[in-house]
Structure 1
Amino acid sequence: MISYQVYKLIHLLGIFCVIASLAGLAFYTANGGLKSNNKLRKQSGIFHGVGLLLILVAGFGMLARLGITQFPWPGWVFAKFGVWIIFGGLYAAVMKNPTIAKVMWLIIPFLGLLSAYIAVMKPF
């Protein structure tokens, strides 16, 4: 049986993977890099996807350890899932638009902070 602390570490690893891949892609795109010229596009996409998967699996594992196993879940769980969906969609948005990439490089850390706030404070 996996402990809550191990799930938390896996969750954090996924978060670091997602933020690293998005930040790197945002830098590349904001500096004029094109999708067709990006030599690490495939690896970055895999890194992003694996990070999202780790976040999801470990998040549900932590919910189970907290005893939240039946629907309906608390509102903060839905809020965290919403932030997860946003992080998932950002990869395509950042890759296709240099203007969005410049703004997202600043917004990505604040989305991470929002997610951490929701997890720690559980406001809803």
Structure 2
Amino acid sequence: MSYNFYKVIHLLGLMLLFFGFGGLLVSMYARVELKKAARIMAYACHGVGLLFIFVSGFGLAARLGLVAGLPTWVQAKIGIWLLMGVGISLVKRKGYIGWPVAVLILGLGTTAAFIAVNKPWM
């Protein structure tokens, strides 16, 4: 598959991930009990988004010829995405505090984007 295909899937995964975070975070902050179907949708968007990010990320790394050894910037991004995977439990348990959780999640996403664009440890 082409580099552009993997890039689009990567961005789709990013959108799904933050869509899942947002749905759950807003309901927790507003102290509104989501119906079961809505909770399942938020968790599914989060999970499918992470899956798309990981699969397409490794596809992008392969297209860049980074299969033999992953550079430090790729390892840092993998670590950030793993933290984002665990972050859904933070939103579920502490989402009622609102902005600090949202800033943490957005900060992680921004850091991953900065690393991807600048590749600081090439």
TM above 0.5, yes or no, is: yes
After TM superposition, which residue ranges in structure 1, 4 or more long, deviate above 4 angstroms? Answer: none
Within the alignment, does 1:64 sit opposite 2:24 as a pair?
A: no
Give the TM-score normalised by the residue count of structure 2: 0.90
| Stretches of structure 2 lacking an aligned partner (at least 5 in a row) | none
Residue 25 (structure 1) shift: 1.1
Matching of residues 1-124 of structure 1 within 5 Å: 2-33=1-32, 37-39=33-35, 40-71=38-69, 73-97=70-94, 98-99=96-97, 101-124=98-121
Corresponding residue pairs, total: 118
Supply the RMSD in Å over aligned alpha carbons: 1.2
| Stretches of structure 1 lacking an aligned partner (at least 5 in a row) | none
Structure 1 range deviating more: 75-84 or 24-33: 24-33
Give the TM-score normalised by the residue count of structure 1: 0.89
The percentage of aligned residue pairs carrying the same residue is 39
In 1: Cα distance, 2:17 partner to 2:6 partner = 17
